[in-house]
Amino acid sequence: MSSNNEKKTVGLPMALFTFVVVAVIMSVGLAILKINTMVTFILALFAVCVIAVCTGMSLEKLQDIILTGFKKFALIGMILISVGMVVGSWMISGIVPSIIYYGLKVFTPASFLAIGFIVCCIVSFFTGSSYAALGTIGVAFMAIGYGMDIKPGLVAGMAVSGAIFGDKMSPFSDTTNMAPAAAGTGVFEHIKSMLWTITLPFILSTILYFIMGLKHDAASAESLQSITDIMGALDETFHISIFLLIVPVFTIVLVAKKVPAMISLMIGAFAGVIAALITQPQFTFNEVVTSMSTGFNGEFENEAAAKLLNRGGISGMMSTIVYCIFTLELGELMYEMGVLSAILETFKEKIAKPCNLIIATLISCLATVMLTTSQYMAILLPGEVFQNAYKKAGIAPYVLSRTLEDGGTIFSFLVPWSAAAIYTAGVLGVPTLSYLPYAFLPIICPICSVICAITGIGVFDTEGKSLRGKMLMKKAE
């Protein structure tokens, strides 16, 4: 085997140095100097490239890693392009306007957030895709929330919470299948184990969204005229019909039937074009088709309606696509250098107690997301590193797989520079830090995981016996 194909990894000192360099560039660039996010990513990537070359990586190998990063980005990039096409065609076809119209008619500010959260949970569970849920029903809910004068960050946090539920719990989800594979357990044992840390967050999130809705309901009289004006603008511009909702339902069914998300969204986009040509004769063929590229650009007297509907298209997703390219390139390079594995391998042997192991797994998932920006890496890498440690501690593998989801799946939507967070911010049009305080489920879930680790609730040994009794006995001694 040639030296170019050998994977050279760094030691602990260089791994820590690389970690600090990336952390300093990100924090100083974004928080202190307020440098453009894309430029900050480029600087971090360049710095890691220099470190990689200085530690013995050949330029040829470096180029191969960059090309590999592009290959891994291809699917995410096509999904982003598909989402842009969907939003554009669903706007001009009257699909999203119809959802907004009926949503404003049926929902009240008091009920919208709680019911919207549950609907997002259901859609993401049956599709198994947080990306598909956010790119379809999430976009529509953002528009309804805007019409009700509810904070965009709050609505986005609700949509993200619901999307994460399905991404975490659905047997159709890639992460739900990936986590047990990384931990060495079965899918349904894994799902059953996750009930310990997802049930309470789901209940509390529903209650919190209902309470937040009540606060908005008290001020709903002020926004009543705005809602009426928006509905009037929609009715004047589009042919509003309940039958147009067949297209999004059909698209969601395709994803639920395990048709790849990219293909399902592409079909949904072209179905939107057909719907527009049939139901919206006021738009020309060229305007309808072009909406998939440049988005919908209608003329409205109502400024709120214009801001609500003039969006979408491939061009509207380009900045998000570029962000994702650089984040995945950075993650791929740091993975190939062995930065995080060097750190985790050093400390895992010093963490023997079940409680410490679970908490360390959560922290390692967060660190992996922050360094590699990848949800998949945040599941696979800690799973690989900690699998033997859990065996030695006598902890069931489905406890590890659950913890990988409590950390890896969830934190990827909360770290602003991760691929999942960039996708979410791009699709919903809300910065990560704006929706983060209102993303109740992904905030509460890791806390529940830590509580379970400390108390022993939901923690089992390899024979399926609860460790809570053993922990209580040790405390008594």
Neighbours of 425 (CB within 10 A): 21
Q: What is the pLDDT of residue 396?
A: 93
d(CA 314, CA 413): 22
d(CA 321, CA 70): 11
3-state class (DSSP) for residue 431: coil
Q: What is the pLDDT of residue 474?
A: 56
d(CA 280, CA 275): 8
Q: What is the pLDDT of residue 469?
A: 57
3-state class (DSSP) for residue 212: helix
3-state class (DSSP) for residue 466: strand
CA angle 446-450-452, nearest 5°?
115
Neighbours of 60 (CB within 10 A): 11
Q: What is the pTM of this model?
A: 0.76
Q: What is the pLDDT of residue 1?
A: 37
CA distances from 380 to 335, 338, 386, 416 (A): 11, 13, 10, 21
Q: What is the pLDDT of residue 217?
A: 65
d(CA 405, CA 201): 14
Mean pLDDT, contiguous 10-residue spans, the chain (477 residues): 53 88 83 80 90 92 87 80 89 89 81 91 82 83 85 96 90 82 87 94 96 74 66 88 92 82 90 96 94 88 76 84 80 83 72 85 89 82 83 91 94 90 90 95 96 92 77 52
Tokens describing residue 65: 């890693």
d(CA 344, CA 360): 9
Tokens describing residue 209: 């969204």
Closest CA to 361 of 464, 448, 461, 450: 450
Tokens describing residue 200: 């309470």
* Run of H or E including 416: none
Query: Hey, where are the domains in the chain?
Result: 73-318
DSSP letter at 6? S
CA distances from 293 to 87, 89, 184, 278, 288 (A): 10, 9, 44, 20, 10
Question: Which residues does 97 contact at the CB level (< 8 Å), separation at least 6?
Answer: 91, 234, 237, 238, 240, 309
Phi (first) and psi of residue 32, to 5 degrees: -95, -55
CA distances from 403 to 147, 251, 361, 387 (A): 38, 32, 7, 12
Phi (first) and psi of residue 337, to 5 degrees: -75, -20
> How far, rounded to the nearest angstrom, does the alpha carbon of residue 455 sit from its chain's CA centroid?
29
